């Protein structure tokens, strides 16, 4: 699996440590990806499309499992809705 570029798609704290990433889950593998992500910990849906904020542990597990995802540019994603879902 090609590792996607991470520029402008992740959020780091002032020390440069990864604190979250924003991804889109492909519809055809959504159930597999969702099962893995929710087994690790909570994730947050941040747009009407299947766009989620995930932790570094989620990102590492997705890469390790070879499951498909797309890193999303935070500036290009929809603004966070007041009713954003967290699971």
> Does residue 14 sit within a domain?
yes
Indicate whether 68 pLDDT > 90. Answer: yes
> Does residue 63 sit within a domain?
yes
- What is the extent of the structural domain holding 59? 10-80
Confidence of residue 16 (pLDDT cuts 50, 70, 90): low
Output the DSSP codes for 60-73. Answer: HHHHHHT---EE--
> Does residue 86 sit within a domain?
no
> Does residue 3 sit within a domain?
no
> Does residue 52 sit within a domain?
yes
CATH code of the domain containing 29: 3.30.70
Across the chain, mean pLDDT equals 76
> Does residue 5 sit within a domain?
no
Dump pLDDT digits (tens) for 22-57: 899 999 999 999 999 999 999 989 888 888 999 989
Other CB atoms within 10 Å distance of the CB of residue 20: 19
* Tally of structural domains, the chain: 1
> Does residue 1 sit within a domain?
no
Indicate whether 61 pLDDT > 90. Answer: yes
- 42 or 79, which is more confident: 42
Predicted pLDDT at 72: 87
């Amino acid at each position: 699996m090609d590792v996607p570029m991470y520029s402008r798609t992740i959020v780091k704290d002032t020390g440069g440590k990864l604190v979250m990433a924003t991804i889109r889950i492909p519809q055809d593998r959504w159930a597999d990806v969702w099962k893995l992500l929710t087994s690790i910990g909570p994730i947050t849906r941040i747009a009407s499309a299947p766009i989620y904020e995930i932790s570094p542990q989620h990102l590492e597990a997705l890469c390790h499992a070879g499951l498909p995802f797309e890193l999303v540019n935070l500036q290009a994603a929809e603004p966070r809705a007041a009713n954003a879902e967290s699971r």
